[in-house]
Structures are given as C-alpha cells and as structure tokens.
Amino acid sequence: MDRIAILMPGDMGHAVGRALRQHGHAVTTCLAGRSARSRGLAERAGMRDAATLEALVAGADLILSILPPAAAAAQAGAVAAAMAASGARPVYADCNAVSPMTARKIGAVIAAAGAPFIDCGIIGAAPGKGNPPRFHVSGPDTAAMERLDGKGIAVIPMGPEIGRASALKMVYAGLTKGAMTLHTAMLLAAWQLGIYDEALAEYADSQPGALKAMRGRVPGLPADAGRWIGEMEEIAATLAGVGVTPAFHDGAAEICRVLERTPFAAETRETLDRSRTLDQAIPVYAKYLKGDGD
C-alpha cells in the first residue's frame, strides 16, 4: 500500500487526500505553520499530520505537491532539503499549475536530491464534485501516479518528457481561467464607460452563453484571485517561451490583482457569498481598479 503525502491540504489537496484514503491509502500532510482553515480541511479529510517536513518525507512513498503555483519551487526546495536530512527519497509529483520551464527546474531540484520526479497537471474540479479530476502526468517513470488511476482521480500518461503535462495545464487554464478574467475585464470596462446595462442587454440577446457564464462565475472570483495571479504569470511565461504573446495573460494577472484588493477576497470556498450577483459585484470591483478602494 503506497504511503502518500500531500502538500498542502487546500481545496484540491484535501479532497484528493480524502479520496485516496477512501481507497485504502495512508495519507499524511504537514501542518506546521498552516492556517486554521488548512488544519480543518486536513482533519475533515482524515489526513494524518506528520508534524515536520522531515517526518513526512521519511514516511512517504509518494509526495503530491498541490499548492498555489507561486509557492511550487520553494516547496520543492524545502522537500529536497528534507530528503537530505532524512535520507528518504520518495517519488515527488509536482501537481501545480506551472510552466513547462518551471516544471523542469523543479524536476532538476528533486533529481539533484536523488529522488524520482513526475510532472503533473490537474484539470477539473476536486474529487467529489462531479467527474473525477484528470491528473495528466509525464516523466521517465510515472508508474507511481498511474497506480492511483480510478481512486477518485483519473491519471492520464503523456509520455517520458518532463514539461508535457504542465504544458497541457497551461493551455487549458489559459483558456478557462483566461476567459473568466476577460469576462471580468469587459464588464469592468462597460461599467466605467457607463454602458453596463446596455452591454448586458446585448449579451443577453446575442451572447446568452457568455452572459450565463459571467453571472455564474464572476461574482465569486475574488476568492480564487490571489492564487490565480501566479498561474496567469506561468501561462504568460509558457506562451512567451514558444513565441506567442504573453500579453493576454499578463492582463489576466492584473485583473486578478484588482479582485484580490476587494473585500470579497477574504472569502474562502467555504465562506463564499453565493447569493452575490453580478450587478452587486462589478461596482465594487470597479472601485479597486486603481487599488485605492473606498
């Protein structure tokens, strides 16, 4: 039975941990320095706290790194140091929304520590919220992840090259989350131009699908915006690396910064005000376009 460690128990991480526990795996995490919310999520998922990173590494066969992309490289460095201290060399799967270049840098850090590395990109909602999320994996040996297929997640191999899985995540999130930020930008522009009601009327007539998506998603975006800034920057770097303009997703990152400045950004997935409407959200967002608020 694989002993699986998950860093960290956020929205996705704790749900993956819960699903793997339900399929018979021993699942640990490290809650040192984590928030009360993370501790609560880990407890609800039944994840054991290893107390220190060294203890977690020593007791794991496989480590899944699932955290905001801006923290991915630092986390890999900390785990590599814990490997050196503990003498253990578990498989390390970076499951974060990072560029192929960042994935290869993280892979090099883990390889230098003497441990196997798997590049992984997660697409889909957390386990328990409909269809299982798809964990696309690439690298010289992805067997440790492939054994988890069907255990609350779907694992899809993409070949031996590190970076392929991350590349897929980038072009996918660049479309989905990029579209959400574009929707927000257009609504903010309409509000600032004084044609908000007219724009919504036109969207209702000619773009009903887009308007439905705006109403369903844009009012809750601030809860995710802080985590998405780094992801949009990784997408921009991915595009720039292959000669495609990064400007779209540099702009998406800026929209996320605007949303992060709003009071709604203090909400979490658990405390999100799901009754807030688009008409209530956009005027508040507009106040923070310059970062000064009320």
Kindly report the CATH number assigned to the domain that includes residue 154.
3.40.50.720
- Helices (runs of H) and strands (runs of E) counted in the chain: 12, 8
- Of 39-43, 91-95, 245-249, 290-294, the range with the lowest mean pLDDT is 290-294
For residues 105 and 191, state if they share a domain: no
Note the residue count of the chain.
Answer: 294
Helix (H, G, I), strand (E, B) or coil at 3: strand
Distance (Å) of CA 21 to CA 16, 46, 67, 130, 269: 9, 8, 19, 18, 22
The number of distinct structural domains making up the chain is 2
Same domain? 132 vs 179 = no
Last residue of a domain, one of 113, 136, 161: 161
Measured CA to CA, the distance from residue 128 to residue 105 in angstroms comes to 32
One domain for residues 176 and 140: no
Asked if 289 and 262 touch (Cβ cutoff 8 Å), the reply is no
Residue 51 lies in a domain: yes
Per-residue pLDDT band at 294 (split at 50, 70, 90)? very low
161, 185, 202: which is the final residue of a domain?
A: 161
Question: In Å, how far are 40, 153, 206, 292 from 10, measured between CA atoms?
Answer: 10, 16, 39, 30
- Residue 262 pLDDT > 70: yes
Please state the rounded mean pLDDT for residues 140-162: 98
Model pLDDT for residues 82-115, shown as the tens digit of each residue: 999 999 999 999 999 999 999 999 999 999 999 9
Q: Is residue 293 part of a domain?
A: no
**Taking a C-beta distance cutoff of 8 angstroms, is the pair 115, 58 a contact?**
no
Q: Are 27 and 116 within one domain?
A: yes
CATH number of the structural domain spanning residue 259:
1.10.1040.10
Mean pLDDT of the chain: 96
pLDDT at 1: 55
Range of 89's domain?
A: 3-161
**How far is Cα of residue 122 from the mean position of the Cα atoms in its chain?**
8
The answer to the question of residue 292 being in a domain is: no
Q: How much is the average pLDDT of 107-131? A: 96
Residue with tokens 């724009």: 199
> How far apart are the C-alpha atoms of 237 and 110, rounded to whole Å?
22
36 lies in the same domain as 116:
yes
The answer to whether residues 23 and 41 belong to one domain is yes
Rounded to an integer, the average pLDDT of 127-155 is 96
Residues 109 and 196 in one domain: no
Distance, in Å, from the CA atom of 219 to the CA atom of 152, rounded to the nearest integer, reads 29
Residue 70 confidence (pLDDT) above 70:
yes
Residue 294 within a domain:
no
Give yes or no: residues 41 and 145 share one domain.
yes
What beta strand segments (E) does the chain contain? Answer: 3-7, 26-29, 48-49, 62-65, 91-94, 117-123, 134-138, 154-157
**Is residue 4's pLDDT more than 90?**
yes
Do 254 and 120 reside in the same domain of the chain? no
The answer on 90 and 36 residing in a single domain is: yes
Domain limit, last residue, from 161, 193, 227: 161
- Count the neighbouring beta carbons within 10 Å of the beta carbon of residue 161: 14
Q: Over the stretch 193-223, which tens digit does the pLDDT of each residue have? A: 999 999 999 999 999 999 999 999 999 999 9
